[in-house]
Structure 1
Amino acid sequence: MNTLLKNARKQKNLKTRELAQLIGIDQALISKFENGSRKPTKEQIKKLAEILEINYEILLIEWIKARILYEIKDEGELGLKALLIAEEEIRYNASFKRKKLSKNLQAILKEIDDIKKELDNFRQFDSFRIAQALELEYTFESNRIEGNTLTLRETDLVINEGLTVSGKSMREHLEAINHQEAIGYIKQLLERNFTLNERELLSIHNLILRGIIPEDAGKYRKVQVMIKGSSHTPPQPYLVSKAMEDYFIWFLENKNKLHPIILAAEMHERLVTIHPFIDGNGRTSRLLMNLILLQSGYVIANIKGDYDTRMEYYNSLEAAQTSNNKEDFLLFIARTEKESLERYLSIIKQ
């Protein structure tokens, strides 16, 4: 950047003193800008671009690059690793700032909030039995997405009657029991008016894999993984802890800025994209999403496990992960929540 400034000044036949007067700063600063010992402010960059007739975007990019290199110049390989981790976050934030919510998303969010307002007027008719039945369906569908072959009736027998279903594996039984206990845990969190953090996330995952892969339950993975049927490759294991640290920072920065549906969907997609666990990422991501929805007064968004819905779910996730196009996934989650709200309302009104 310093060479760019010096060459542009000379082409304009300006002395450092003259340029300093035009900008309104000390002459010594111009010399420091040109020899690289001092960086101009963003406002000074704008003035320099105008006076020296340099493309502002080009000059700003050079300025940003210089700042980044200054911060990581002594970090070696660690600096490069940090830069790679930051790249995905920067790409997402840049994309998110460029576009507001689409008209389709805005419309469905308005419909969702209208339904929620109507549901709030009927909350006094809510009951434990309604919640219990819908939570059972949620456990059944969430496990079905992951390949569990228990039917809804069999899931009920395993969870509520303590029965063993002939022909079904021990893992399938544990998946049903564990998921239902995880729902109970997030309801306890809601009663405590908690703040989402890493400890609670690991506790949820611990419940999901308890007795199934006990050595990995509630722990970040230490090996590289591939997602079956997806072209997205999750980050290397040594990057997971930092990615999860950034994940919770992002949540704290955005939890009061985004519509709860968008926030919940984002936290779901971001977690399953990092894929921090050896197994149970999908179930944990959906539980976390629904924890955020419940905390904001919405109902569980129950994604169905039938083939067509599952494929739509996976394809929208794939688009978000590989092309940074989250529109389809956000719409999918919004439609799922709308359907869940409508069903809940219809049951209560009866």
Structure 2
Amino acid sequence: MKTLLKNAREQKGLKTREVAQLLGIDQALISKFESGTRKPTRDQVLKLAALLEIDLETIMVAWLKEKILYEIGHDEFALKALLVAEEEIRYQSKSAKKKVSPTLQKILDEIDSLKKKLDSFRAFDSSRITQALELEYTFESNRIEGNTMTLRETDLVINEGLTISGKSMREHLEVINHQEAIAYIKDLMKKNAPINEREVLSIHNLILRGIHPEDAGRYRKIQVMIQGSSHIPSQPLLVAKEIEDFFIWFETNKNNLHPIVLAAEMHERLVTIHPFIDGNGRTSRLVMNLILLQHGYIIANIKGDYESKMQYYQALETAQTKNNNDDFLLFIAKMEKESLERYLSIIGQ
């Protein structure tokens, strides 16, 4: 544990004083954590993991191991107690695992079947097909947010570099920015880069670049309300803490949930925090699709027509106001299934 912390801090090029300032704790405590003379609390471990970009599972296992050894390591019944505890932990872990509805499970099974079929035909992948589908994604994601560009106009802006008469500069920038953000998440996927706060801010920076330069890649500093929703996001002072909790949840659950459920959960949690003054929906959908791409799925394209948009918003509203995201998870699963079915039909499978 102590070596893990010190190595991670030095890799980041931080001094113990700087780590202490960033975490809001005494510098002497950081030195004691690294020397092993003081054990951090669970909350401090989570903060250290986020700040130093240490894999949460790695640091938590190291921390719990030392905690167990300190508590019972020299007791004559320690090994027997550990065996009994292991059985109990396995039982509790199984019971605590997020249960999905039979309807959702059926769709997840169908999605995985489609994905297996897709995996066996990856050789038929075409860059032209991918580009066309990404163009549609940009068109639909912007349409959800009120952009009035047609699919053809979106194509002309992206692929021909044309300016569309009667369309605002903002609408042109939304098209260009979103397409660049897709390229960015694909690059992250290829590099197998971790999903962290820096990358989410970078995605948002691309979305608002040239539109709200002062807010691009930065958390909001004012209270906001969501038009047409009764959900009121937290005060701006709480955003940073909620984002910290957001990534702790991700690190804790990323290996325990079906990728579709994980991606949908991350979308719903991020857009509920509503950390930005603008661009929350597009950023949340891009984070969701980054997770899907990382797991070998394809982009789930939520349509921007009135009926689809209302279903999407209603499922989000239920998740945000009734603390029940079952409808939202089901909605995203259906979108991914439709996207997979369409892709397979295009390549003739």
Instruction: Indicate the TM-score class for this superposition, using the shorter chain for normalisation.
Output: 0.7 to 0.9
Unaligned runs of 5+ in 1: 1-95
Q: Which runs of 4+ in 1 moved over 6 A?
A: none
Deviations 1:271-301 (A, max 9, x none): 0000000000000000000000000000000
Query: 2:308 matched to which residue of 1?
Result: 309
When normalised by structure 2's length, the TM-score is 0.72
Name the aligned partner's letter for residue 340 of structure 1: S
* Paired positions, count: 255
Unaligned runs of 5+ in 2: 1-94
Change in 2 beyond 3 A, CA 1:223/1:329: same
Tell me if structure 2 keeps the 8 A contact 1:223–1:237.
Answer: yes
Asked if residue 219 in structure 1 is aligned to residue 210 in structure 2, the reply is no
For 2:172 and 2:326, how far apart are their aligned partners in 1? 36
Name the aligned partner's letter for residue 259 of structure 1: H
Name the aligned partner's letter for residue 291 of structure 1: L
- Kindly, what percent of the aligned residue pairs are identical? 77
For 1:109 and 1:169, how far apart are their aligned partners in 2? 41
Name the aligned partner's letter for residue 297 of structure 1: G
Query: 1:65 matched to which residue of 2?
Result: none
Query: 1:256 matched to which residue of 2?
Result: 255
Report the alpha carbon displacement of residue 322 of structure 1 after superposing the two structures with TM: 0.2
Report the alpha carbon displacement of residue 349 of structure 1 after superposing the two structures with TM: 2.1
Deviations 1:219-278 (A, max 9, x none): 000100000000000010000000000000100000000000000000000000000000
Name the aligned partner's letter for residue 146 of structure 1: E
For 2:102 and 2:330, how far apart are their aligned partners in 1? 11
Name the aligned partner's letter for residue 127 of structure 1: S
When normalised by structure 1's length, the TM-score is 0.72
Report the alpha carbon displacement of residue 325 of structure 1 after superposing the two structures with TM: 1.3
Asked if residue 152 in structure 1 is aligned to residue 154 in structure 2, the reply is no
Query: 1:230 matched to which residue of 2?
Result: 229
Query: 1:198 matched to which residue of 2?
Result: 197
For 1:275 and 1:224, how far apart are their aligned partners in 2? 10
Tell me if structure 2 keeps the 8 A contact 1:122–1:349.
Answer: no
For 1:344 and 1:256, how far apart are their aligned partners in 2? 27
- Secondary structure at the aligned position of 2:195 is classed as coil
Query: 2:288 matched to which residue of 1?
Result: 289
Query: 1:59 matched to which residue of 2?
Result: none
Choose 1 or 2 for highest CA Rg.
1
Report the alpha carbon displacement of residue 99 of structure 1 after superposing the two structures with TM: 6.3
Instruction: Give runs of aligned pairs for residues 296-335 of structure 1, distance below 5 A.
Output: 296-335=295-334
Tell me if structure 2 keeps the 8 A contact 1:201–1:288.
Answer: yes
For 1:342 and 1:283, how far apart are their aligned partners in 2? 23
Q: How big is the alpha-carbon RMSD for the aligned residues of Structure 1 and Structure 2?
A: 1.1
Name the aligned partner's letter for residue 311 of structure 2: E
For 2:225 and 2:238, how far apart are their aligned partners in 1? 15
For 1:179 and 1:315, how far apart are their aligned partners in 2? 24
Deviations 1:178-214 (A, max 9, x none): 0000000011111111110000000000000000000
- Secondary structure at the aligned position of 1:232 is classed as coil
Tell me if structure 2 keeps the 8 A contact 1:143–1:176.
Answer: yes
